[in-house]
Amino acid sequence: MQFLRGLILLIANICFFYSISIISLAKALTLAFIAPLIVTAFSPFFLGEKVGYRRWLAVIIGFVGSLVVIRPGIVEINLASIAALITGIMYGFYLIITRKLSSSDNPLLTLLLTGIVGAIIISLTMPIVWVEPSFTQWSLMAAVGVFACIGHFFLILSLKYADASKLAPFSYFEIITNIIIGYYFFEDFPDKWTFLGLIIIVSAGIYISRRESFYKNNIL
């Protein structure tokens, strides 16, 4: 399970890095935001969490939101958009496995194994694709590693105490900083279709979260 979790996160990262090299940060992240919907859709099968028909409907609506962003048949679908969508799917499964492991494994062990799996697999490809980074690039990559490490640790810790389907929509806060960073550093700003798709996906995710809380409160 730990190896599978590390492999899934590696695939998600590679897809996301590729997507943002072609399309804007905001569009890539909007498509990746289907992750909470993936968690909701598959948590009954892997985690035994109950999902009613209303939340299933929200999952379908959220998927429609991703189609609004991609607009198949209206604009040409590129590999970058598909890669961003795969990022969301992989990250959803990553959250599910993290939740499953949180009841048995120490968070620090899970964090360590996540990095080891990716490092070993990627190291095998380095002789083929290696390009010598500059000092600035080394510094930026180090910063990515530090922030990712801190973020994943708190993610693992949170999933230890709460259901994955309830926590997943909190990731929508990321879009605020993403739009600011994308505009400030790259002069990218989401178009109206990306904003519309984002509103649909986020609304579906928030509904799922609120429905989860309502359901649990009624049981209690």
Q: What is the mean pLDDT of each run of 10 residues along the chain (220 residues)?
A: 90 92 81 79 77 72 72 68 90 86 78 85 88 92 89 80 65 70 76 77 71 53
Inter-residue contact 124 to 117 (CB < 8 Å): no
Rounded to two decimals, the pTM is: 0.72
Query: What is the per-residue pLDDT for 163?
Result: 67
Inter-residue contact 81 to 19 (CB < 8 Å): yes
Q: Pick the closest to residue 53 from 213, 211, 218, 180 (CA basis).
A: 211
